[in-house]
Amino acid sequence: MATEKTILSIDLYDNVLTEAPGDYTGKVNITGTVHMILGLAGQRKIKAILSCKSVVDGHAP
């Protein structure tokens, strides 16, 4: 049975809160956006997030 792999891409930045060398903080590298419509299952949202997509659910700010 094949196992499914999820790759999460993170952009690393120097951690400005510490002076320790090699101390980083990260931000997820968003690769796209999925606009949700009423009735879409939560499972689809989870798959989109795991695919490095931002999820727009509801009204825009």
Structural domain includes residue 3? no
Each residue's pLDDT tens digit, 3-12: 888 788 899 9
Q: What residues does 11 pair with on adjacent strands?
A: 27
Structural domain includes residue 2? no
Where in the sequence is the domain holding 47, given as residue range(s)?
A: 10-56
Cα separation of 13 and 55, whole Å? 24
Domain count, the chain: 1
Locate 4 and state its tokens.
């499914």
What was the pLDDT predicted at 52? 85
Question: Checking phi first, is residue 52 left (phi over 0); if not, alpha (psi -120 to 50) or beta?
Answer: left
Stated pTM of the model: 0.44
Q: What residues does 32 pair with on adjacent strands?
A: 53
Each residue's pLDDT tens digit, 25-61: 999 888 888 776 755 567 888 888 888 888 887 665 5
